[in-house]
Structure 1
Amino acid sequence: MRILHQVTLENLKKNKVRTLVTIIGIILSVALFTAVTSSVFSLQTYVLEVIKEQAGNYHGGVYHVSSKELEQVVPHEKVDHAVLLQNLGYAKVEGIKNQGKPYIYVGAMGEGFEETMPVHLTDGRFPENSQELLLPVHLGDNGGLRLQLGQELSLSLGQRIIGEDTILDQAAAFQETETLLGAKDRTYVVVGFYERPAFESYVAPGYTALTLTDGTGPDSFQAYLRVDPIKDTYAFMEASFPSREITYNHDLLRYTGNSNENTLNAVLYSMVGILSLIIMFGSVSLIYNAFSISISERTKQYGLLKSIGATRKQIRNSVFFEAVLLSAVGIPLGILLGITGIGLTFFFSKELFMTLWQQGVQAELTLVLGKGPLVTAAMLGLLTVLISAYVPAKKAA
């Protein structure tokens, strides 16, 4: 077998032009596979970054929960990360014109809240203490109440109650029969404005204003969790908060493949499959011809090898050895070419992708290299070469 390998190597050296053409064919094939797999992986990563920026980097949340309940849930091994927003209360404010949203709701941000949740400044700065307030811009645009930076705002904050003792939270729409109980006066200084938050429900009766906690206030919190593994999010949240109003980051769960609706992923994977088949078909045609010519030129040589005892299996394996040898050169170069090509494509088209989103986003489309996409491209390239060599190998044997 070693003699057959040496003969194969000598033939490759002797026919340098044909060897080079075959390697170029493999390089182009693998470059296309790499471009397809890496571009899809990069697009998935980009979409996830946009979702985290716009909707928040959490999996599931709850609107109204006590500190005692959180003490039982947050330390759980499946909770990878948690941020809290203390529900300080609601205040009716003169000047708000939206009758279905008559309140300013004030929440006190816990540690890491503004990094995990979509709190995007439009003017001013974040609060630095419990006397400073960050207001949403839609308080003016939608509510008709426009305040200025540095302006003082006095609020009488209470809890929304309907009936005798039913507490209403931000997930419950405004009801004419509800009342505010336990109101306490607080005075804030407006230090900034931010975009309408995605964690504010569209039926929420209060415009979400943010401050920092002073360690006092109601024992009521919004909690936003990241669950590990992410596929357990729905079951974990329902088991942990069986009697609470739960919200989910549906887009994030959907695009990570952890939702009942995986349309985007299905489309992307189908696209990868179809494009890979097209690339494979075209590549097989090219590489097959190179192997066929090689085998035709060496017919007498194979006959001589058979006459001195070489078996059909050994001759067939020598052809596959040639295929693997050429792949060892062509596949790495093809991956490098594919990475370079798709990297340049993304560099020149990233502005186009950023304009596809309704709101401006900071996330940029860049080439993201992953082990899975690169290995997939390499395996597809190797499979293509082996398929191309299969028929010539049978003829040679």
Structure 2
Amino acid sequence: MRTISKIAFSNDKRNRTRSVLIMTAICLTTMLLVIISTIGNGLILLQKDQAASSYGSNYGLFIAADGTQLKEVERRAEISDIGIMCTEGILKGNENGGFVSADETVRKMLPYNQEYVLKEGTYPEKAQEIAAGRAFFDAVGYHDVKVGDTVTLEYRSGMQSEYAPVEFTVSGILYDRDEYTIEASYVVFGSQDFYNERVAEGDRQYNIYFTLSDSANVSMNNVAPVIKEIADSCGIDQKNVIINDLYLQWVLQPSYEMIVVCGTLILGIVLFSVVVIYNIFQVGIAQKVQEYGKIKALGATRKQMKQLIFREGILLAVPSIPLGLLFGFLIAKVSFNWLVEQGNLVSSGIKNHQVPLFSLTMILICIFVSFLTVVLALRKPMKIVSRISPIEATRYLDGSKTQKQGRRKGRKDVTVFSMAMANVTGNPKRTIATILTMGLSCVLFVIISNYVGNIDTEHEARIAINHGQFELQLDYSQNYDEAY
């Protein structure tokens, strides 16, 4: 075994040109595999992250649940994360907005309550603390507010009570977002202690945001019945159940289009690489048939000859694949960040979406596919070398057939072109394989260059939002204002 490995290493070292070409092909193959798989996986994660930012990361919502129902929900093993939000009441000047208390879980789940919305300070914890954006404080007459300042706001707990002045301490300043200020509607945070002080225990109502654990075993086809069954078992009316369908479509439904595109590209790369590596090995074998015949004459078995070729390829793959992984991931990261920046040019937000690109699973798959590509490329050279006869090897002349009996056709003038054509026509199989390899490489280059060159972020944005498209909504209230 050691002797075979030494011979394989010696062959690779002696045939430097062939070794460099094969290592380059393996490195480029691994790079392309890492780039395509990393960018594809990153786009899927980015779509899920954007879905969470747009629609929230909760599976569903139980509204207007009482304390008993809340305890029943907390007992359910199918529910993994639970967030509680309560409506504190109404602040004058923000009748169209919300004055709520929300725990940390809710702030992470809801799209407008992400942790990055807090610009400075902290979320309210004590009874008289409040957190809001500067646009809200400007609207109620307090300009240039700082954390720790005291403000007096007109507050009422519901439609049955009148406004009364309440003094609050500013615990935090939130980012101002355009969608909050279009209709003078702002999100203002209070504390759970303030809600408990103002609302009697029997009258308290909770909005329960939740996600399901893996034990629930849900898919897009059965998630709605599962959530409704949980609501029924907890005594919650089904009309108070809201399912976050838009988010679940991204989380529970695989991105088949992206998977198909990436899979097709990877399959094309593997086939192309197999042909390239095979042709390089085939040329090397043709030039060293006599040497392999001598090894066979020394008593090497067919299995050992196969192992010799296999180890020649693997020894070249071992240093090439890590280099391909490194350069491929760096290129994928730069390319993905560029795509995200282009997407941010046509979308508004207060924070760029950042998703973890490194995936150990993807890296391991790329390593496996790269080694598989090398093994597939070595299969035929291994068979050819194992069948070499010592006697045939001594008479082998670079794959050319023995001249037929008769007169040899010569040429009066020998030119560079005539010698080139003689080499091309002398081995038709090698010529056809080379033409196919070059053709496949051109096809692959044209496909990738056209795909990258035709990326138009504005066009993609306009698929969802056309010029002049608008939406009309009816503004109404089911609550009758009994105090005014």
Measured against the shorter chain, the TM-score band is 0.7 to 0.9
Query: 1:27: how far off?
Result: 0.5
Q: What whole-Å deviation, never above 9, does each CA across 1:212-256 have from its counterpart, x for those lacking one?
A: 222242321101112222753645532221324222333443323
**Structure 1 residue aligned with 2:362, among 373, 376, 384?**
373
Query: 1:363: how far off?
Result: 3.2
SS of alignment partner, residue 80 of structure 2: strand
- TM-score for the superposition, normalised by structure 2: 0.63
Conservation of the 8 A alpha-carbon contact between 1:50 and 1:361: no
SS of alignment partner, residue 349 of structure 2: coil
**Structure 2 residue aligned with 1:304, among 286, 294, 308?**
294
Task: State how 1:351-362 maps to structure 2 within 5 Å.
Answer: 351-357=341-347, 359-362=348-351
Query: 1:36: how far off?
Result: 0.8
- Is it true that 1:323 corresponds to 2:323 in the alignment? no
The residue type equivalent to 2:384 in the other structure is: K
SS of alignment partner, residue 157 of structure 2: strand
- Is it true that 1:213 corresponds to 2:192 in the alignment? yes
SS of alignment partner, residue 241 of structure 1: helix
Q: Which has the higher strand share?
A: 1
The residue type equivalent to 1:386 in the other structure is: V
- Is it true that 1:395 corresponds to 2:370 in the alignment? no
Count of residue pairs the alignment pairs up: 351
Corresponding residue number in structure 1 for 2:67: 67
Conservation of the 8 A alpha-carbon contact between 2:42 and 2:336: no
Q: 1:32 to 1:104 in 2, by over 3 A?
A: closer
Q: What whole-Å deviation, never above 9, does each CA across 1:102-150 have from its counterpart, x for those lacking one?
A: 766543223543344222368998545444556699999xxxx954447
Corresponding residue number in structure 1 for 2:9: 9
In structure 1, what is the Cα distance between the partners aligned to 2:273 and 2:321? 13
Task: State how 1:1-397 maps to structure 2 within 5 Å.
Answer: 1-88=1-88, 106-117=99-110, 118-119=112-113, 120=117, 127=124, 129-131=126-128, 146-149=139-142, 152-158=152-158, 183=161, 187-188=165-166, 195=177, 209-214=188-193, 215-216=196-197, 217=199, 218-229=203-214, 231-232=217-218, 234=224, 236-242=226-232, 243-244=237-238, 245-256=240-251, 258-259=252-253, 262=254, 265-357=255-347, 359-365=348-354, 368-397=357-386
Q: Which runs of no fewer than 5 residues in structure 1 stay unpaired? A: 97-101, 159-179, 199-205
Question: Higher relative contact order by CA 8 Å / sep ≥ 6: 1 or 2?
Answer: 1
In structure 1, what is the Cα distance between the partners aligned to 2:87 and 2:355? 39
Larger Rg: 2
Conservation of the 8 A alpha-carbon contact between 1:60 and 1:248: yes
In structure 2, what is the Cα distance between the partners aligned to 1:58 and 1:318? 57
Conservation of the 8 A alpha-carbon contact between 1:82 and 1:223: yes
Q: Which runs of no fewer than 5 residues in structure 2 stay unpaired? A: 146-150, 387-484
Corresponding residue number in structure 2 for 1:177: none
Query: 1:269: how far off?
Result: 0.6
Query: 1:54: how far off?
Result: 3.6
Conservation of the 8 A alpha-carbon contact between 1:84 and 1:113: yes
- TM-score for the superposition, normalised by structure 1: 0.75
Query: 1:9: how far off?
Result: 1.8
Q: Percent identical across equivalent pairs?
A: 20
Q: What whole-Å deviation, never above 9, does each CA across 1:31-82 have from its counterpart, x for those lacking one?
A: 1101111112222333333333343332222222112112122244443322
Q: Which has the higher helix share?
A: 2
